[in-house]
Every structure is written in structure tokens, then in C-alpha cells.
Structure 1
Amino acid sequence: MNQEKLHKGSCQCGTVEYTLVGEPLTCYSCHCTRCQTLSGSAFTLSMVVSFDALELGSVKPSEVRFLHKDTEVVRHFCEKCATTLWFSSDAIPGFSAIKPGTFNDTTWYKPVAHLWMSSAQPWVKLDDGIKQYDTQPEMRELVELWQEGMD
């Protein structure tokens, strides 16, 4: 029998809690300039999951909406400590991009790809053996890479 693993997470202050009750579709790091600006860092990590696989605790995250290339994006965050927990978008309806650093245990996953290396900071040197893309690959390809890593 295949038992699903439960992965719990929360914001920095612990006010907003969630549980991932299904398997992720993929996990990647993005080096695009938009992600650099949103995170204030050189890149971000994202884990794509079905929104149905997210069970929320008693306190729901706050939301802020913005446009990215004519697509509405929603940032879900803790109103108290401002931790970004995940993003959702009409570009991938029914799915969310969790910020996997918010999991209580961050040792069970690793990204399958580095995206937008054409925009990476010049001092970022990667030799981790993970596939690199100069731009945005098809989501299907990222999902396949994740599935290959699960075998």
C-alpha cells in the first residue's frame, strides 16, 4: 500500500501553518530577475503542488495580487511576520508554488533544475550537477525530471 507522506510547514513566527498531503509535481530554483526582486536574493526555490494537496491550519495566509507578464499572480503570506508561503497564478490553475524553505523539515527535497541562468548573478557558480536552463522550460519537462529523481 502506498502511504502518502505528510510534510508540515509554517511561516517564521508559526502563525500560519500548512500540511502538504500529496506528492509535489516538481521543485526548481529560479534565477530570473523577477524572482530576484521579489525575494531580495540571487534566486528562489519553488515546489509546484496541487492546491488540493495543501491543508491549511486555522489561520489562513493573507494575499497580495500583482501582474507578471499580463498574468495575475497571488502571493500568500503571513500578515504577522510577512513570510511568503506560496504563490498561485492563473498560468497554472489548481496549483501553487510553495516556498519549500517554509517546510519544518527541509532535508527531503532538492531542486531538479536551475531556471533562467541567463539572468543569474555573475557571482553565482553552480556545480551541483543539477540541470540548468537559460530560460523557462516547459513545466512538463520539470515534472519529468522530478519523477525521474523519485525512481
Structure 2
Amino acid sequence: MKEHTGGCLCGAVRYAFTGEPRFVSLCHCTHCQKLSGGSYTINLLIQEQDFKQQGATALFEDSGDSGHPVQRHFCGDCGSHIFAKISSAPGKIVLKGGTLDHPNDFTPQAEIYTCRASEWLLPVEKTQRFDLGI
């Protein structure tokens, strides 16, 4: 099984996971916009048991646009958001695709929370679009 690797900007947190994500999406929710400083985040839904982390992450807890509690894990040194755990998806991790060493290994299948997408941002070809989450 192929291993995928990534980490934060400063290198204090590194990770690896095996297998393929269950789902890859672009999220336009306001929380993802604020935590990334951009118009969306690239999210990979992976099995928590397939994920191995080196280096400690800091934790910020809030609730997402869906209203579900979210644990956001980020590097305490450089601030890179690495992954999130959502209470409505036990056993899964939402990995931030921008932290991958090889982000082009994955293609988004969907765009979610498009009702909050920047008006000037064109839809990504060959993706399903959802006004809210799925």
C-alpha cells in the first residue's frame, strides 16, 4: 500500500498515511477560509488508524459551519493547520491537502459550502458542487 507524507511549514510536525482517501473535497466554509487565509481548503478524508504523526500538534476546538464540534490540530510553532477531527465522523481525520509533500497525487471530487465561495472563483471542472456540506 502506498504511503503519503506531509507536514507543517517549519517541519516540526510530520505525518504519513497509507491507503487512499475516502473522499477529497474543496471546502469553502467560512471556518476553512479563516484558518487557511484563502478562499478554500483542500480536504482529504482518511482513516485515523492509517495516520501516523511525528511531533506534537496544538489543539483548537470550535464548531464548524455544520454546527458539529471540530478539533483542529495545528503546529504550535508555525501555525500550519494539519488536520481536523469532526465529531460526526468518528475514526476519520480531515487532512489538509496543502500540507502534503505531493498534493497533486489527489484530485478533488467535490466542492462543499459553495454558497460561501468567493464570487470570482470559477467552479473546478469535473467536481460535484454542494451548497452546504455532505
Flag whether TM exceeds 0.5 (same fold): yes
**Contact preservation (8 Å) 1:21, 1:55:** no
Partner of 2:63: 67
1:28 aligns with 2:25: yes
Distance in 1, Cα, partners of 2:69 & 2:36: 18
Is the partner of 2:103 in helix, strand or coil? coil
Distance in 2, Cα, partners of 1:93 & 1:80: 27
**Contact preservation (8 Å) 2:35, 2:81:** no
Cα RMSD between the aligned structures?
Answer: 1.5
Is the partner of 2:44 in helix, strand or coil? strand
Distance in 2, Cα, partners of 1:70 & 1:105: 31
Partner of 1:114: 111
Taking structure 2 as the reference length, the TM-score comes to 0.90
Q: Which residues of structure 1 form unaligned runs of 5+?
A: 138-151
Partner of 1:87: 84
Q: What is the identity, as a one-letter code, of the residue corresponding to 1:102?
A: T
Distance in 2, Cα, partners of 1:41 & 1:23: 26
Taking structure 1 as the reference length, the TM-score comes to 0.81
Is the partner of 1:55 in helix, strand or coil? strand
Q: Percent identity?
A: 28
**Residues 1-151 of structure 1: pairs in structure 2 closer than 5 A:** 4-57=1-54, 59-68=55-64, 70-137=67-134
Cα deviation, residue 8, structure 1: 0.8
Structure showing the higher strand proportion among its residues: 2
Is the partner of 2:33 in helix, strand or coil? helix
Comparing 37-46 with 95-104, greater Cα deviation is found at 37-46
Q: Which residues of structure 2 form unaligned runs of 5+?
A: none
Structure showing the higher helix proportion among its residues: 1
Cα deviation, residue 119, structure 1: 1.7
Is the partner of 1:37 in helix, strand or coil? helix
